[in-house]
Amino acid sequence: MQDNEIISMLEDRDESAIAQLVLSYGRLLRSIAENILRSSEDAEECVNDALLKVWNTVPPVKPQSLCSYAAMVTRGLAINRYNSHHADKRVHNTTPLDELADFLTTGETPEDSIEAQALAEAINAFLAKLDADSRILFIRRYWYCDSMASLASRLNISENNLNVRLYRIRRKLKQHLERSHLL
C-alpha cells in the first residue's frame, strides 16, 4: 500500500491504517528501536509507542514520507527511552552517536552558543554534498544507529573497510563544521 493511502486511512481514523503501517514499515521501525535500545522487549514497546504517536499526530501532520516520519518518531522515542534507562550515567555504553560526538569534540567548541537547528542545517548541507553512498552510510550509522557488524554485512564490505569510510566521512564533517564555525 502506498504512503498516501495509509495517510488517508489515518486521516479517516481508520484503525487498519496501523496494521498497514506495521506491514509496510514495522520491520524497519523495529530495527531502529533495537539498534538503539539493544533489547527486543524494549524495542517492541518503543515501536508500539511510535505507532500510537503516529496515530495521534497524523493528522494534523501530513508527512511527505510516512516511512521517514515513522522512523523519526521511533528514533526519538527510542533515544528518550535509552537516555531514561541510562540517566545515572554509570554505565559506559558506546553508541554510534557517542562515536560521532566524541570525534567532533574539540578543545575550543563554542557549542554552548550553537543551536541544534543551525547544526542540523550544516549537517544537512554537508550531506547534500556527499555522494549518495557516503550519505547512506552516514545516515545508517548515525541516524539508524546500525552496528558496525550489521552495516558491514548489509553493505557486503569488511568492518575495517567500513571503519575507514566512516572515519573519512567524520573527518570531512568535522572540516565542514569547522569551516562553518560550528566547531
Partner 1 sequence: MKKDLLNEALGFINEAYIHEAADITPKKRISLKKLPMLAAAILCLAVLTVGVAAIGMRYFVPGVGILDDGSMSVYISEGEIKLGEGTIDAILVTDYGDHKEANIWVWRPASMGIIGTVDGRVPAELDNVYVVAADGSLIEHRGGGMATEGFSNYIYPDVPSTESITIRDNSGNEVTVPLTDLNKSEYAGVEGIRIGEDKTFAAIPVADSANLIAAEFYDPLTVELASDAASVSAHCIAATVTETDEYGMIAGSIILKGVDNNRNGSSGVMDVGSKCYNKGITKLMPKSINLNFHYDITSDVPEVTFPLPEVGETIEVDLTVYDSEYFTLKVTSVTNSEEGLQYTYDIQNHIDDPTFHISFFDVDDYIYGAVDYMNGQTHIKNDHARINVFNMNMDHERGTFITDHSDPDFPAVPIEPGTEITISLMMMTCEYHPENYNYQDPMSNLGVIDFSK
- Enumerate residues 74-133 that contact partner 1 by CB under 8 A: 75-76, 79, 85-86, 88, 90-94, 97-98, 100-101, 104-105, 109, 111, 114, 116-117, 119-121, 123-124, 127-133
Residue 56 found at the interface with partner 1 (CB under 8 A):
no
Bond before 59 cis per omega within 30 degrees: yes
Size of the site for partner 1 (CB under 8 A): 76
**At closest approach, how far in Å is the CB of 179 from partner 1?**
5
Helix (H) or strand (E) holding 59: none
Q: Which is nearer to partner 1, 14 or 159 (by Cβ)?
A: 159
Residue 48 found at the interface with partner 1 (CB under 8 A):
no
Angle between helical axes of 148-155 and 132-142 (0-180°, round to 10): 150
Residue 53 found at the interface with partner 1 (CB under 8 A):
no
**At closest approach, how far in Å is the CB of 94 from partner 1?**
7
C-alpha cell at 6: 495509509
- Identify the CA nearest to 131 among candidates 165, 96, 86, 177: 165
Residue 136 found at the interface with partner 1 (CB under 8 A):
yes
Residue 154 found at the interface with partner 1 (CB under 8 A):
yes
Q: What is the 3-state secondary structure (H, E, C) of 97-156?
A: HHHHHHHCCCCCCCHHHCCHHHHHHHHHHHHHHCCHHHHHHHHHHHCCCCCHHHHHHHHC
Residue 13 found at the interface with partner 1 (CB under 8 A):
no
Name 22's Cβ contacts closer than 8 Å, sequence gap at least 6: 51
Q: Which is nearer to partner 1, 52 or 120 (by Cβ)?
A: 120
Residue 165 found at the interface with partner 1 (CB under 8 A):
yes
